[in-house]
Amino acid sequence: MRLLLAEDEKELSDALVTLLKHNNYSVDAVYDGQEALDYLELQEYDGVILDVMMPRLDGISVLKRLREQGNSVPVLILTAKTGVDDRVLG
């Protein structure tokens, strides 16, 4: 299974990549929302892990653009936000 991980915190990204690869996932890691969108427009993924708060383009905006383009790849949203409104938005 091929995943795209978009997480701007390098240490967290490295830890997640290590964990996912240990569990036999193929992972491409990017560090901002625009880079995530660029990868998603050029390559096929089985799933995406998106941080909400990223530079250049936030995770929610990436997800909105994906869906507007008709891309229905499954997306898991990562966030430190805990508000109900944040969960509903995601």
Which residue ranges make up each domain of the chain? 2-89
Can you give the pLDDT at residue 90?
47
Can you give the pLDDT at residue 61?
95
Q: Which CATH number fits domain 2-89: 3.40.50.2300, 3.40.1380.10, 3.20.20.70, 2.60.130.10?
A: 3.40.50.2300
Can you give the pLDDT at residue 85?
54
Q: Is the pLDDT of residue 10 over 60?
A: yes
pTM of the model: 0.86
**Rg of the chain's alpha carbons, rounded to an integer?**
12
C-alpha 70 chain-centroid distance: 17
Predicted confidence (pLDDT) per residue in 34-81, tens digit: 999 999 999 999 999 999 999 999 999 999 999 999 999 999 998 755
Q: Which is nearest to 23 in space by CA: 47, 54, 59?
A: 47
Tokens coding 47: 């799933």
CA atoms within 13 A on the CB side of 20: 19
